[in-house]
Amino acid sequence: MLHLASMMKSRPADFRKALAGRHVVMFFEKPSLRTRLTFEAGVASLGGSISFVDQTQGRLDAREKLSDIAHNLERWVDAIVLRTFAHSTIEGMAEYACVPVVNALSDLEHPCQALADYLTLQERFGNLKKIRLAYVGDGNNVAHSLLLTAACLGSKIRIATPEGYGANERIVADAFEIAEQTGAEIDILSDPHEAVRGVDAIYTDAWASMGQEHEAGERARIFPPYQVNDELAAGAAPHAVFMHCLPAHRGEEITDSIIDSVRSVVFDQAESRLHAQKAILTLLLGGGKSRIPVRSAHA
């Protein structure tokens, strides 16, 4: 997928008909800037069409049973993209619909973001097996998907979170199980300074995710030692880059001096969302190798 995303970025004209005749629908229970626009722009650039349904005023299954929605959608569209609160909504849609369902974010995972992040790291450093990434902050959906992606790629990752705010135990167990097969190195820590020592990239995210706003005050008291600032960043390798999935709460989880520095790749990550998601949809809907240009497939 990362290889295809790189090809799609470097030779976009080769893929302008990859999704010709295909229609995608998006249902978003949470607000979005990057996710919505990158899916819309990506589908359009591949010759497909896309519809957006704003679900921010109510959960997807609030008015109608989820299975009924799924069986309707599978008659009309070629793929369903969901941005939800409950991960069970995505699982349920995937269970009932006979067309591909893409997780564009849930409270448990954010796989499109993690794939884009590792595409960014691959472009910057090359061999992902040699890269060591440190994530510091809340053990949230982004941390979960970074863990699983690093494990699948055989990469190296450290996760540092405050006590009581660690990553989901099942996700961690799954990541370690995958790592046994791929050779990935995973460290689960509490000390942010230990986590960033000598790493190639430091990653952070908001201390309170969407839906956790009522916890913001308490988290603001607990999380300051995990702020990515000049002092913390000094422990990383001299060439280390700084990452954030955005939107950022400047002055909280990350300082202006870090996010605006020449070593910040946050907007590269945002661009990578476009290419990663184009690759996901092309692999799901592009009709196999017949839709992928031969000269590109072996580049």
Choosing from 78, 205, 275, 277, the catalytic residue is 205
Active-site residue (options: 132, 144, 244, 273) = 273
Catalytic residue among 22, 83, 158, 219: 83
Give CA–CA dist 123/71, Å, rounded.
40
Active site residue 110: yes
Known catalytic membership, residue 112: no
Active-site choice (36, 245, 269, 277): 245
Amino acid at 49: S
Residues 6+ apart with CB under 8 A from 150: 118, 133, 156, 157, 175, 184, 186
- Out of 22, 36, 110, 158, the active site residue is 110
User: Is 264 strand, coil or helix?
Assistant: strand
Question: β-pairing, 185-189 with 132-136?
Answer: unpaired
Q: Is residue 292 a contact partner of residue 4, using CB atoms and an 8 Å limit?
A: yes
Say if CB 4 and CB 275 are below 8 A apart: no
The Cα–Cα gap between 226 and 39 comes to 32
Please count the helices (runs of H) and the strands (runs of E) in the chain. 13, 9
Q: Are 45 and 70 in contact (CB under 8 A)?
A: no
Cα(271)–Cα(275) distance, rounded to whole angstroms? 7
Q: Confirm whether 205 is a catalytic residue.
A: yes
Q: Quick check: is 230 catalytic?
A: no
Question: Does residue 269 have an active-site annotation?
Answer: no
The CA–CA distances, whole Å, from 60 to 63, 67, 101, 109, 208 equal 8, 11, 14, 18, 23
Is 263 one of the annotated active-site residues of the chain?
no
Active-site residue among 113, 122, 227, 277? 113
Stretch (H or E) spanning 134: strand 132-136
The residues that are catalytic are: 83, 110, 113, 205, 245, 273
